[in-house]
Amino acid sequence: MKLSLAFSMIAVAGAFAPAQNGRSSTELHSGVTRNPNFAKLAGGYLFPEIGRRRTAYLAENPDMADRIISLGIGDTTQPIPEHILSGLVGSASKLGTKEGYSGYGAEQGMGDLRAKIAEKLYDGNIKADEVFVSDGAKCDIMRVQQVFGPGVTTAVQDPSYPVYVDTSVMMGQTGDINSETSQYDNIVYMPCTAENNFFPDIENLPRADIVYFCSPNNPTGAAATREQLEMLVKVCKERGSILVFDAAYAPFIRSEGVPKSIFEIDGAREVAIECNSFSKYAGFTGVRLGWTVVPDELTFSDGTKVRDDFNRVMTTAFNGASNIVQGGGLACLDDEGLTEINTLIDYYLENAKLLKEAMESIGYDVFGGADAPYVFVKLPDGKKSWDTFSEILEKTQVVTIPGAGFGPGGEGYLRLSAFAPRDTVIEACERLKKAMA
Amino acid sequence: MKLSLAFSMIAVAGAFAPAQNGRSSTELHSGVTRNPNFAKLAGGYLFPEIGRRRTAYLAENPDMADRIISLGIGDTTQPIPEHILSGLVGSASKLGTKEGYSGYGAEQGMGDLRAKIAEKLYDGNIKADEVFVSDGAKCDIMRVQQVFGPGVTTAVQDPSYPVYVDTSVMMGQTGDINSETSQYDNIVYMPCTAENNFFPDIENLPRADIVYFCSPNNPTGAAATREQLEMLVKVCKERGSILVFDAAYAPFIRSEGVPKSIFEIDGAREVAIECNSFSKYAGFTGVRLGWTVVPDELTFSDGTKVRDDFNRVMTTAFNGASNIVQGGGLACLDDEGLTEINTLIDYYLENAKLLKEAMESIGYDVFGGADAPYVFVKLPDGKKSWDTFSEILEKTQVVTIPGAGFGPGGEGYLRLSAFAPRDTVIEACERLKKAMA
């Protein structure tokens, strides 16, 4: 014991100076310094902020509560179809039996689910042990960031899903935010607007270590073509960048020839990670199931496989997706499940079409909404996103999302989500046409 | 577009030097430098390593497959009891109905579950909005680390659950491992062995910013007394440290007067975070449900509430525990659920008693196993943990865990887990008594 204690003292000598530490003078606060990366974060996370503004509006206008229609956060609304539901209920029920009970599973997911994802969704381009099953794409993006650490530089589409930038800031990869541009130092913002058909001029932008790319895109609804993705993979490969491809909206792609996975592109196995999710496939936003593909060929500059470090995060800092939920995932990938998913997606795509038509009839330029559940509306020159969000909320009680919430490049745009019951979408279209025309 | 692009270029000027970057010379690897913190990690995560050795043994001894008994990883084995199961099945089923369907919930958990945890498990010491519901304590420890960032110093019990040290290394809080002591620089190892009754001489150890403390302890099975916890809170307060208290085994405490939560100790609200889990309460190891309590009073040195930064991680890098699983959590906290939990815990505690008696009858000094599901066996002088692990596996086909897997302080000990069906525990006891006496 004495010896062991002595070792501890030696091991930390120099690293600690107990006399200088201790409770701060006021005795009100701990002596632990706040992580400076958190101080850099501008405002709260976008979606809770939308909720806050909606709540504030209702506090002032309580009689409007019944009239609120949310086309804001991309949250599924349709019940889970029968076959998929039977997968969830069945795997819950069997936990009550001696034979069916299971405890900890592999942190990377059940073997049969990993194999089924590889087989049914990747057409043989991916092996089962390259698939890591998780509780969702958002959570996986943080785990991917954990692998990369604070030393990398990052590029994002602008506008984009806020999680890429926010987690980069949290990890310490960025500098401070520039109050004029609303951009963080050390992040390459890749403008994606109507002017460039929502695909960045990547060759003429600075290199970054990690390139986040979401297609079909949230919020713009743009689905990159095969030629565009080939260019993306080529540039990443030439520059030695790692591409983190977010394919969470892939099942909405109906246009012929548009790739649903980055691994349909030659050479992607050497440059890309793909994050994906059952959230939008099967209405699993609250159920929580996703996956990330890390191909065997993807390496860091020293030759270490990215997959090995990702596996270390999955096993050390995660404990597997719920066994009940993974049973639902298996059902999703049965033929009956895949048919049910298609029916669900058809429903939301029809909503998107209605929203697109309504906004066009008002006279706006409208993008997305064809291979994606998001309709991206260009506001008339000079109109600000947050102002229009407020104006629409006040005039029509429809909750939208300001494009500026997805990055400075989204200023002057508004995102409408097709995730809503049909009758409310029709009602929202009527109100918008009446109030905004 | 031109303007926007120009801004991007300016914003990153100086931070990037594209000409110097690019594909490494061999063109085999990406140009992204591996996170150096991952290179520091010694070996794989403990439990997969145990699985690997078990698999290797079976590869050489395939006829022994049916004889394997696992007293290794602390994984529950008993089916989920009726009332709790009905909570899980019911919340799965209702997702198939229009009225019962739910998508994204609050990232911090359902309001009624947060309130019920505060009420039923904290006896009014904690408010609902201080409870963050999650997919498990292991995952929450990583999120807590995310909040603290790379700049803090850490103290751990030695031996302890490997996740505290491994996530500290991943976050960049440590130096390299010392090959002689098997200790990482910049971590304060607090020896907890038979010699100090498994409670560290904390006053005479160096200060750290963050003190991880698990009670009842994994792997030693020691449950800290009220006086010990008062000392722990007092020292953390005096030194301005933040205490991360892991209470995942709290329901195993049956001794009168032993606290089940750090928040039973006066002053803990100003120094402590508590991580907890339904895994061992209700056999939810595969179901995935946990929670973390961050009191309002806990602040960093600049006065920022720790809860606010933890909330930012929960909303930005996590998306809530599964709605199905949270329904199970609600059922756990009904009176019927709490009774079922007690019956489950009784079962495992009886297993622990049998294991303890068997090892004592062989002549070992045995610790734990009373207020904890782990029995911690002191090996005769000079016997090594990993050697004994192998010897027992070969002689008896019983899988244990070497104490050294939990840190250098665990060398010379072996952990036996009471999480196993009764008949296999009895069989394991017989074999151990026969082979090891």
Across the interface, whether the CB atoms of A79 and B85 are under 8 A apart is answered: no
CB B328 within 8 A of CB B290: no
SS3 A398: strand
Contacts of B337 in chain A (CB under 8 A): none
- For residue B355, pLDDT beyond 60: yes
Q: Is the ipTM of this structure higher than 0.90?
A: yes
**Candidate from B153, B188, B286 with C-beta closest to A323:** B286
At B436 the pLDDT is 86
Domain boundaries, chain B: 46-71+337-436, 82-334
Place of tokens 């990037």: B16
pLDDT in tens, A37-81: 999 998 767 887 888 899 999 999 999 999 999 998 888 999 999
**Candidate from B39, B77, B80 with C-beta closest to A96:** B80
- Per DSSP, A16 falls in state B
**Which residues touch B179 (CB under 8 Å, ≥6 apart)?**
none
Instruction: State how far residue B295 is from chain A, nearest Cα, in angstroms.
Output: 13
Instruction: Return the minimum-mean-pLDDT range out of A263-267, A328-332, B50-54.
Output: B50-54
d(CA B57, CA B395): 12
Across the interface, whether the CB atoms of A11 and B181 are under 8 A apart is answered: yes
Q: Which residue of A has its CA nearest to B73?
A: A104
Q: Which residue of B has its CA nearest to A176?
A: B11
- For residue A413, pLDDT beyond 90: yes
**Candidate from B28, B166, B172 with C-beta closest to A149:** B172
Q: Which residue of A has its CA nearest to B15?
A: A186
**Candidate from A21, A82, A286 with C-beta closest to B239:** A21
pLDDT in tens, B42-65: 876 788 788 889 999 999 999 999
Across the interface, whether the CB atoms of A22 and B240 are under 8 A apart is answered: yes
Instruction: Return the minimum-mean-pLDDT range out of A3-12, A150-159, A411-420, B269-278.
Output: A3-12
Task: Return the CATH architecture of domain B46-71+337-436.
Answer: Alpha-Beta Complex (3.90)
**Candidate from B92, B139, B408 with C-beta closest to A324:** B92
CATH number of A46-70+337-436: 3.90.1150.10
Across the interface, whether the CB atoms of A136 and B319 are under 8 A apart is answered: yes
Instruction: Please report how the helices B335-362 and B422-436 are oriented relative to each other, as an axis angle in degrees rounded to 10.
Output: 10
Amino acid in the structure at residue A78: Q
pLDDT (mean) for A181-190: 94
pLDDT in tens, B143-193: 999 999 999 999 999 999 999 999 999 999 999 999 888 899 999 999 999
Phi, psi of A270 (to 5 degrees): -95, -10
Instruction: State how far residue A199 is from chain B, nearest Cα, in angstroms.
Output: 12
Across the interface, whether the CB atoms of B300 and A33 are under 8 A apart is answered: yes
At A44 the pLDDT is 66
Dump the DSSP string for B348-396: HHHHHHHHHHHHHHHT-EEEE-SSSSEEEEEPPTT--HHHHHHHHHHHH
**Which residues touch B282 (CB under 8 Å, ≥6 apart)?**
B80, B81, B84, B328, B332, B337, B340, B341, B344
What would the two tokens of residue A255 be?
A: 């246009």
Fold of A82-334: Aspartate Aminotransferase; domain 2 (3.40.640)
**Candidate from A150, A163, A318 with C-beta closest to B139:** A318
Instruction: Return the minimum-mean-pLDDT range out of B10-19, B358-367, B399-408, B427-436.
Output: B10-19
pLDDT (mean) for B278-297: 96
pLDDT in tens, A190-230: 999 999 999 999 999 999 999 999 999 999 999 999 999 99
From the list B141, B44, B160, B47, the residue with the least C-alpha distance to B408 is: B160
Are the folds of A46-70+337-436 and A82-334 the same?
A: no
At A318 the pLDDT is 96
Strand pairing category for A413-417 and A374-378: antiparallel
Across the interface, whether the CB atoms of A309 and B35 are under 8 A apart is answered: yes
Across the interface, whether the CB atoms of A323 and B287 are under 8 A apart is answered: yes
pLDDT (mean) for B397-426: 95
Across the interface, whether the CB atoms of A303 and B29 are under 8 A apart is answered: yes
d(CA B164, CA B141): 7
* Residue A15 burial (10 A CB sphere; 0-12, 13-18, 19+): middle
Strand pairing category for B69-70 and B398-399: parallel
d(CA B247, CA B291): 10
| Mean per-residue pLDDT over chain A, rounded | 92
Give the H/E segment covering residue A231: helix A226-239
Give residue A350's pLDDT band: very low, low, confident or very high (50, 70, 90).
Answer: very high
Contacts of B24 in chain A (CB under 8 A): 240, 301
| Mean per-residue pLDDT over chain B, rounded | 92
Q: Percent of chain A beyond pLDDT 70? A: 93
